[in-house]
Amino acid sequence: MRQFERRNGRLGTSIVILAAGEGKRMNSTLPKVLQPLAGRPLLQHVIDCAHAVGADDICVVYGHGGDQVRAAFADVPVRWALQAAQHGTGHAVQQAMPETPDENQVIVLFGDVPLLQADTVKGLRDASGTDGVGVLTVDMDDPFGYGRIVRENGAVVRIVEQQDASENEQAIVEINTGVMCCPAASLKQWLGQLSNDNSQGEYYLTDVLAMAVRDGIAVHGVKAANQVEVMGINDKKQLAEAERALQRRLVDELMIQGVTFADPNRVDIRGELSCGNDVFIDVNAIFEGKVTLGDGARIESNNLVRDSRIGPGTVIHSNCHIEHSSTGSHCEIGPFSRMRPGAELADRVKVGNFVEVKKSTVADGSKINHLTYIGDTTIGSGVNIGAGTITCNYDGANKHRTVIGDGAFIGSGVQLVAPVQVGKGATIGAGSTITKNAPDGQLTLERGKQTSIEGWQKPVKKS
């Protein structure tokens, strides 16, 4: 058994996350705890909370879809406990206890309660003390169907389920969330005393509280700030409600930092968004993965930005798709542009409408204004790329690189067949297909002879 040191005089913390449920109401082949919320699985949010609490030991109790669940978190530092058959929450926690140090406090969380915040969990742990028991509660607008918290002199004495509650007890609006904190040694003892003599034939974790009261252990009820934080996710409707609640929380945090949103309700952050000062984000912007927006960046409507860094003062016009890319300062992209992985723009670069850039670097001040594909290309500074230009980087088997020197001018409708180099200050005439290197400072043309055919007749549509 691993041993954990005390931190600042307190006991170590073991967090047990119950994630074995099937989630039938999701009507999905994907296990419930892998359903996506803000771009990450439900379980990931709970694990992140556990790490933020400062847990020494995190155990995930898994069951349904176990191979999928473990594979999704193969690189996450947690230990796993299998609940092969589901016999209730008490039985689930039992699976995690053999490797849990006796001297730790144990906090039980749920893999389908993803909005719980670390400060709330810390408050529950602190209120429990080293020997007491803590249970997280919340006041519900409509508590019907939930276990009610019964207190005497402020202390929790029992939890009464809806079907067993008296008329007075049914009037109680404080309900049990299921999240609790117990000393590990005591919890092991109480779990061993659980009975499944109930209508469901299951071992209920909530029965532990009555055992604690019986043994003279203080049970502290700690209220969560709101219902949203402790909401469980059981179906796609609740998943959508949680998505909107989390998005609003993320946007509120960014607005406090000074980010301006045209409409806080029409933005989706599916990952980590970091913003500098005076950033503006218009409606229907989607951010996925890790995205950084520099000071004064402006994201117009209907943009998707994924795992990218946008430099200070850069403007992303409407309807662009930017993925695994970066820009320097004061660039301009779009509208209707696509930046594919490996697109790297320096400062003051212009990428205009219907331009696609992939695995290419573009140096300071260059412009790619219209209807152009740039792939596997190195573009120098001060270059102008004309409309309809294509870098032909693929020969059917391999990719090849195009290099365009500083100050070059590429006319409209040009095909640059890689591997090829265009020299510094060179000009490529419109409509050319360039297959050989173009020298510095010269005009290079490649055009077939233009011919007009007398007496030619337009084809007629057949009836």
CA–CA distance from 418 to each of 343, 367, 390, 403, 436 (Å)?
18, 20, 10, 9, 9
| Whole-angstrom distance, CA of residue 60 vs CA of residue 80 | 5
Q: Is 22 left (phi over 0), alpha (psi -120 to 50) or beta?
A: alpha
Q: What are the structure tokens assigned to 341, written together? A: 């992985």
| Whole-angstrom distance, CA of residue 69 vs CA of residue 49 | 18
| Whole-angstrom distance, CA of residue 244 vs CA of residue 238 | 10
Long-range contacts for 415-421 (Cβ within 8 Å, ≥24 apart)?
A: 415/389, 415/390, 416/389, 416/390, 416/391, 416/392, 417/392, 418/376, 418/377, 418/391, 418/392, 418/393
- Burial of 402 by CB count in 10 Å (0-12 exposed, 13-18 middle, 19+ buried)? buried
Q: Which among 51, 64, 324, 370 is annotated as catalytic?
A: 370
- Burial of 449 by CB count in 10 Å (0-12 exposed, 13-18 middle, 19+ buried)? exposed
Q: What are the structure tokens assigned to 331, written together? A: 């660039």
Burial 424-443 (b: 16+ CB within 10 A, else e): bbbbbbebbebeeebeeeee
Residue with tokens 């001297």: 103
On whether the CB atoms of residues 282 and 300 are closer than 8 A, the answer is yes
| Whole-angstrom distance, CA of residue 228 vs CA of residue 245 | 7
Q: What is the largest CA-CA distance in the chain?
A: 108
- Catalytic residue status for 51: no
Long-range contacts for 336-341 (Cβ within 8 Å, ≥24 apart)?
A: 339/308
Residues marked active site are found at 370
